[in-house]
């Protein structure tokens, strides 16, 4: 029996299929598309940070599992995502220490973000990569629409204040994100502050 060669690609196919089938249509932001968006950002940051091929595989797996918990719960979904990784990944020949690294990365996406490792910093930055991109207004609107559907933040004024407070406290961890995302994130914050004046 195979002991130390995880079936990364098979695990990816499995979790993407599960997300496509099981995630609620009310998850306008935390959708399968969001997971793929975070994956693309993570690969870009990981390449810039020059992580190894083995680290890249673990990072990919963590990204694909990081919001899987939304299938079952909204609040504290990260813990559920870790449980799912612990449940499913042994079936794809992942070792306990690899799963531990993956779970540590998943927990690094929990807000407020407190990544403990370089891989944790990469996934944390990838998860909020959109804050420093041109499509931030479109994506943040999806998040607000989702929060309204779940009756978590139905008020537009509170949403504006929430975003401003969040952006003031947030910071990127990797050199890539600080260089390529921080400037646009600051522009977005200024736009929100200007909006708050009217």
Residue by residue, DSSP assigns 99-145 as HHHHHHHHHHTSSSP---SHHHHHHHHHHTGGGGSTTHHHHHHHHHH
Report the predicted TM-score, pTM, of the whole model to 2 decimal places: 0.96
Residue 1 lies in a domain: no
Rounded-to-integer distance, Cα 53 and Cα 104, Å: 18
CATH (domain of 75)? 1.10.3210.10
Task: Give the model's pLDDT for residue 157.
Answer: 94
Residue 122 lies in a domain: yes
What are the tokens at 25? 């249509």
What share of the chain has pLDDT > 90, as a percent? Answer: 95
Q: CA 62, 67, 69, 75: dihedral to nearest 10 degrees?
A: 130
User: pLDDT per residue over 67-104, tens digit each?
Assistant: 999 999 999 999 999 999 999 999 999 999 999 999 99
Residue 171 lies in a domain: yes
Residue 14 lies in a domain: yes
Task: Give the model's pLDDT for residue 197.
Answer: 78
The domain of 125 spans 8-197
Task: Give the model's pLDDT for residue 162.
Answer: 96
Task: Give the model's pLDDT for residue 3.
Answer: 53
The total domain count for the chain is 1
Q: How would you class 6 by CB atoms within 10 Å of its CB: exposed for 0-12, middle for 13-18, buried for 19 or more?
A: buried
Residue 3 lies in a domain: no
């Amino acid at each position: 029996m195979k002991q130390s060669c995880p079936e990364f690609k098979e695990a990816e196919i499995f979790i993407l299929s599960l997300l496509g089938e099981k995630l609620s249509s009310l998850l306008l932001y935390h959708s399968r598309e969001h997971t793929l968006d975070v994956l693309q950002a993570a690969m870009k940051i990981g390449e810039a940070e020059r992580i190894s091929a083995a680290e890249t595989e673990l990072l990919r797996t963590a990204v694909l599992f990081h919001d899987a918990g939304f299938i079952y719960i909204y609040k504290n979904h990260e813990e559920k995502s870790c449980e799912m990784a612990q449940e499913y990944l042994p079936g794809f020949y992942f070792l306990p220490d690899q799963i531990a690294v993956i779970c540590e990365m998943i927990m690094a996406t929990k807000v407020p973000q407190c990544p403990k490792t370089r891989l944790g910093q990469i996934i944390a930055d990838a998860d909020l990569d959109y804050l420093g991109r041109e499509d931030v207004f479109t994506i943040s609107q999806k998040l607000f629409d989702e929060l309204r559907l779940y009756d978590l933040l139905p008020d537009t004024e509170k949403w504006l204040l929430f975003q401003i407070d969040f952006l003031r406290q947030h910071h990127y961890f990797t050199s890539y994100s600080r260089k390529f995302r921080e400037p646009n994130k600051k522009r977005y914050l200024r736009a929100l502050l200007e909006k708050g004046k009217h």
